[in-house]
Structure 1
Amino acid sequence: MDRLEAMSMLIKVLEAGSFSKASKQLNVPLPTLSRKISELESQLGVRLIHRTTRKLSFTESGLSYITACRRILEQVEDAESDLKGEYLEPRGDLVITAPVMFGRLYVLPIVTEFLSLYANINVQLLLADGNVNLFEDEVDMAIRIGKLPDSSMIATPVGKMRIVTCVNPSLLAQHPALESPKGLTHFPCVTLKTNMTIPHWSFRFSHSDPPVSVNVASRLTVTDSESAVHAAINKVGATQQLHYQVKRGVDAGSLKIVLPEFEPEPLPVHLLHKTRKYMPQKMKSFLDFAAPKLKARVAALND
């Protein structure tokens, strides 16, 4: 039995004053209405209405129950109105995750601009280098750099990210020229050690061949990319990072990209969200706003 439907019918019987009037107002056959109320009484184990051939009256329990029914139906109606509003207009809380440095440099400026345009949306930006689980952590959208596993997620591509090897030009001048990745086995390097990284660096000697792993000479190992880049700028050694992580150093001349002809395949960048038949307007608005801006920023890295 549809409990909410039965509650609505019970309230209508009280308001109409009779089963026959209520059945006409609800456009429900009188026997159906009577049966629904009887089923409700049976399920509750309480008499709600006294029925006689001349008049209808509600029991004390029936009147108390109707008061509760009205409150419940109002709450359901309010909840449905809120839900419909979320799908009709951009509003509500939006949780987004991105890698720490990429999020700070590229996602945060887009989010702040987005917030200036949508007064009824609040954003929680989770910056983490590990992959946050969108379902377990109740996250709406994620920016991911790297190949995606097969899943039920919807991925919007926004570009590709180069993997580059960089070194301070002064340090480069102190060692034999790096003509091949194999030269890194005798060149001081700054490596990264996290749950997401591998101990060797990857290069391609030919676009038709698979990538080749090179075990570099690690002078310093750190646990985050920002520290690795800082150490490379300070002449500790060469480092292999995503292009956006070293771009400022390259632009400033404190880092130089080496061995570009041996770079591995660039990594795809995606805006990711959960599969849903209907997407709330807050998510659709952010996707429409952020995707082209992220595409432009990622493309500018390759210029």
Structure 2
Amino acid sequence: MDRFHLMNVFVAVAEAESFAGAARRLRLSPPAVTRAVVALEERLGVRLLTRTTRVVRVTEAGARYLEDACRIMMELDEADVAAAGVNAAPRGHLAVTAPVLFGKLYVMPVIAEYQSAFEQTSVSALFVDRLVNLVEEGIDVGIRIGQLPDSSLRAIRVGQVHRVVVGAPAYFHEHGVPERPEDLARHRLVAASGVSPTNDWVFQSASEKRTVRVQPRIIVNTNDAALEAARRGYGLTRLLSYQIAPELASGELRAVLTDCEAPDLPVHVVHREGRHGSAKVRSFVDLAVARLRADSALGP
């Protein structure tokens, strides 16, 4: 059988998690779908699917092959579009993810600009403070803050941020300014679990790395909440530099312990597609990279 046909049938079965569902989608008979999957597994010499009476699941090898097969099929579709002379017009649905506050401040403006420029596209945004698996959750483009684990994702660095301890001028007037990380024990602290998942705050001076065990009076699960507490003069909090850039610029908040901040965290735009990826992804990545690299809050 034709290799592309076998691949196309396998993808349909894997996505539908059903031979019957794939048969309906492809307008083939169920026996023809079964024969195609068996032929593909025999050709590759590996089991791609596990079958039970109720459901069909991809094996570990099947999951890897599914990712590659989807990419190949998408590249073939893009080749067809390019040959037709309309490759320059992004179209279709794009899924994007980013941390919550970063998405609000930096990614939404990019999405609005992108969608206004390419009206044949639609965009969904998943803003969450957790590591999103682009493959498993069907995401096209993501923004990652921090060191990247080894993966097959393509990554473009667009800047860096760092953790900053901040408080309101009124708070410092009443409670004083900490001169050393150890002085934090005498201050009211608010911890954002997304930025500081533990009570160990790490600082880095020219000569040494220091870890301070802090005792927050308030622990919140959103950065916005910690920021609001600091704005109101309740106490000190530790956030990423981009999250409090406007407040630092206006003087509403003041940074302390700046001579012993932890090392910078890189910011990357990541995606799954290669050099010949879809026009919708390439266009969004190019726009996001340009806008983020131009933002002074993300460093030089």
- What TM-score results when the alignment is normalised by the length of structure 2? 0.69
Letter in 2 for 1:282: K
2:195–2:239: 8 Å Cα contact kept in structure 1? no
Tell me, in whole angstroms, the C-alpha distance in 1 between the residues paired with 2:260 and 2:247.
21
2:241–2:297: 8 Å Cα contact kept in structure 1? no
Which whole-Å deviations, capped at 9, do the CAs of 1:185-221 have from their partners, x for residues lacking one? Answer: 1111111235972222121122x53x32112231211
Gaps of 5+ in 2: 6-34, 36-75
Letter in 2 for 1:175: H
Tell me, in whole angstroms, the C-alpha distance in 2 between the residues paired with 1:195 and 1:102.
12
1:147–1:267: 8 Å Cα contact kept in structure 2? yes
Tell me, in whole angstroms, the C-alpha distance in 1 between the residues paired with 2:142 and 2:221.
22
In the other structure, the counterpart of 1:171 is 171
Q: Does 1:108 align with 2:108?
A: yes
Q: Return the index of the structure with the highest Cα Rg.
A: 1
In the other structure, the counterpart of 2:236 is 238
1:186–1:216: 8 Å Cα contact kept in structure 2? no
**In the TM superposition, what is the alpha-carbon distance from 1:82 to its structure 2 partner?**
7.7
- Of 81, 85, 89, which residue of structure 1 is paired with 2:81? 85
Q: 1:289 to 1:82 in 2, by over 3 A?
A: closer
**In the TM superposition, what is the alpha-carbon distance from 1:271 to its structure 2 partner?**
0.1
In the other structure, the counterpart of 1:160 is 160
1:189–1:220: 8 Å Cα contact kept in structure 2? yes
Q: Map 1:122-201 onto structure 2 (within 5 A).
A: 122-194=122-194, 197-201=197-201
**In the TM superposition, what is the alpha-carbon distance from 1:255 to its structure 2 partner?**
1.1
Paired-residue identity, %: 35
1:188–1:219: 8 Å Cα contact kept in structure 2? yes
Question: For the aligned residues, what is the CA RMSD?
Answer: 2.6
In the other structure, the counterpart of 1:283 is 281
Q: 1:172 to 1:268 in 2, by over 3 A?
A: same
2:195–2:223: 8 Å Cα contact kept in structure 1? no
- What TM-score results when the alignment is normalised by the length of structure 1? 0.69
Secondary structure of 1:88 counterpart: coil
Tell me, in whole angstroms, the C-alpha distance in 2 between the residues paired with 1:199 and 1:125.
31
Gaps of 5+ in 1: 6-42, 44-79
1:157–1:268: 8 Å Cα contact kept in structure 2? yes
Q: What count of residue pairs does the alignment treat as equivalent?
A: 227
Tell me, in whole angstroms, the C-alpha distance in 1 between the residues paired with 2:274 and 2:137.
17
In the other structure, the counterpart of 2:215 is 217
Letter in 2 for 1:221: I
Q: 1:106 to 1:4 in 2, by over 3 A?
A: closer
Q: Map 1:250-265 onto structure 2 (within 5 A).
A: 250-265=248-263
Tell me, in whole angstroms, the C-alpha distance in 2 between the residues paired with 1:236 and 1:287.
40
Which whole-Å deviations, capped at 9, do the CAs of 1:264-291 have from their partners, x for residues lacking one? Answer: 1111000001144631111111111110
Tell me, in whole angstroms, the C-alpha distance in 1 between the residues paired with 2:192 and 2:141.
27
